[in-house]
Amino acid sequence: MNMTGIIFSEMYGEDLSVFTHDRNLAAIPFGGRYRLVDFVLSNMVNSGINNVGILAKQNYHSLMDHLANNQEWDLNRKNGGLLLLPPFASEAVNQNNRGKLDELRNALNYLENASTPYVLLADAYVVYNMDYRPMLQAHIESGADVTIAATRVEDGSAAGFPSVFQAGRSGRITSYALNCTARPGDYAGMGCMIISRQLLTSAIREYTARGIYHLERDFIQHQFNRGQLSLNLYEFKGVCLRIRDVDEYFNNSLAIINEEVGGPLFRGDRPIYTRVTDEVPTYYGPDCSVSACVIADGCSIEGEVDHCVFSRGVRICKGAKVKNCIIMQGSVVGENVELENVIVDKWANITAGAELKGLATNPVIIRKGATV
């Protein structure tokens, strides 16, 4: 494979800060047994990419723990494999994230030593199942400098996107806007682009030397507007879930319960890999009632659950009623507890008889390890 993968594990963390106290964005649990990073990482592996660098800056212990020796993704390779790329200590570690070019500068050595002509840059906050090979093929055929993956916006009333494009029939991008709303027929970026390694490394050196750090705004959009960078659009027609704030996290987590969403995301020919924890199969008690749920292994369900997503090792005790909830690893919902529209982070304990109700538009969030 003539492409190296780079994953940004931090972007857009601010609006999800309730989950990123002691983990970074890429390590946020999603879809039962997964973390957000599993999706782009598995896509890369399933596309034959076996050189992957993950850029991390803050709170990445949880991510390291998850990736461990990279073997679940088959990236424990002699040649290539997966490398976590934290910043160099000399590079103003305590400063806030100044931009992707700043992060990429920490990976400059890695990129310069890579042997592939192309680089795939991917954000971890987008959940989708995609083969990058046709995208690379389209990139090479188009002759463009950069190819950006995007989904077509059908509903104009939707919230804004980090990047919005218009494109001609050939796929050539004709307009490039950042952080704005989209009209029907526009395309929304999915945090994924292909660029030649040569062009990327020279841009990193040139821009960071001048104190300019924003990849999309200062390099791509700026050069595009000056007519010096040609952009090609690659339309992705599959399921694409963006996780930028609590609302999106809540709604998109529950969305995978529907077969139309969960089916294409978890397809047999391109599996999503994740860390193995050797949990037992999930036990369903004699009096439980389960409807419309996605449930990982190691759970014990004895209460009534409806429209929920449970990570590994969740316990729902007798008499509990849980509706529209996302419950992360190892949390316990005690007897006769009633939960509705609640997100419970890992290892929390909801003691017997408690009653918590949020709104579908504003779920209650229980912090990691909390006792309620």
CA 182 to each of CA 179, 188, 231: distance values in angstroms, whole numbers, following the listed order? 10, 7, 18
Number of neighbours of residue 255 by Cβ within 10 angstroms: 18
The answer to whether the Cα torsion of 46, 50, 56, 59 is positive or negative is positive
- Does 260 participate in binding other proteins (rule CB under 8 A)? no
Stretch that binds other proteins, among 106-114, 191-199, 267-275, 363-371 (CB under 8 A): 267-275
The letter for the amino acid at 158 is A
Q: Which is nearer to other proteins, 257 or 365 (CB)?
A: 257
Query: How near is the Cβ of 14 to other proteins at its closest, in Å?
Result: 28
| Closest CA relative to residue 19, chosen from 356, 280, 245, 218 | 245
- Does 290 participate in binding other proteins (rule CB under 8 A)? yes
- Does 347 participate in binding other proteins (rule CB under 8 A)? no
Q: CB of 67 within 8 A of CB of 85?
A: no
Query: How near is the Cβ of 322 to other proteins at its closest, in Å?
Result: 13
Query: How near is the Cβ of 40 to other proteins at its closest, in Å?
Result: 15
Q: Which is nearer to other proteins, 142 or 274 (CB)?
A: 274
10 Å CB burial of residue 178 (0-12, 13-18, 19+) is middle
What character string, x for contact with other proteins (CB under 8 A) and - otherwise, covers 9-48?
Answer: ----------------------xxx--------x------
Interface pick for other proteins out of 7, 127, 294, 356 (rule CB under 8 A): 294
Interface pick for other proteins out of 17, 206, 283, 357 (rule CB under 8 A): 283
- The encoded tokens of residue 23 equal 């983990």
Interface pick for other proteins out of 282, 318, 352, 354 (rule CB under 8 A): 282
Stretch that binds other proteins, among 81-89, 282-290, 318-326, 359-367 (CB under 8 A): 282-290
- Does 335 participate in binding other proteins (rule CB under 8 A)? no
- Does 202 participate in binding other proteins (rule CB under 8 A)? no
- Does 68 participate in binding other proteins (rule CB under 8 A)? no
**Continuous segment of H or E residues that includes residue 262:** helix 259-265
Interface pick for other proteins out of 156, 184, 271, 369 (rule CB under 8 A): 271
Q: Which is nearer to other proteins, 309 or 339 (CB)?
A: 309
3-state DSSP call for residue 346?
A: coil
The residues, any chain, with a CB within 8 Å of residue 104's CB and separated by 6 or more, are 6, 55, 111, 200, 204, 215
User: Nearest 10 degrees: CA dihedral of 217, 219, 222, 223?
Assistant: -150
Residue with tokens 């055929």: 141
Interface pick for other proteins out of 1, 273, 367, 370 (rule CB under 8 A): 273
The answer to whether the Cα torsion of 240, 245, 247, 250 is positive or negative is positive
Q: Which is nearer to other proteins, 123 or 304 (CB)?
A: 304
Give the residues lining the site for other proteins (CB under 8 A): 31-33, 42, 71-72, 257, 259, 262, 265-266, 271-274, 276, 278, 280-297, 309-310
